[in-house]
Amino acid sequence: MGPRSFARNGQYFPRPVVRTPATRICLDCLRQDARISGLPHQIGMAFRSDWQVPFLRACPRHNRALVEVWTDSDRTRRHDFATRIGLVMPQIMTGDLDTPALPVSP
């Protein structure tokens, strides 16, 4: 572990491995955030850094494939989650981006 590593769930990854220009989300996690936060959806939805791990392709809580919603090599724009998620909010809430259930390996 060091400044060039990234820790998630007790596992350490070299930081370059998790620096991807793509942003992936779990639609079910975000809809759950929207329902329970009591905040406007765009503010109540939270990005999970686990979604950055490149070989994690599905949400282990919802058994659903993560969905790539934008790619941007500019880190400032890429990490402006509240602004960017607002652009796909209608599709998230209506289920238009939903993917089939995906069995998650242990």
**Site residues for Zn ion per CB under 5 A:** 26, 28-29, 59, 61-62
In angstroms, give the least distance from the CB of 76 to Zn ion: 26
Nearer to Zn ion, 21 or 60 (CB): 60
Given a contact cutoff of 8 angstroms between Cβ atoms, the answer to whether 85 and 77 are in contact is no
In angstroms, give the least distance from the CB of 101 to Zn ion: 12
Nearer to Zn ion, 4 or 54 (CB): 54
Cα gap 37→86, rounded to integer Å: 16
**Which tokens sit at 31?**
């809809």
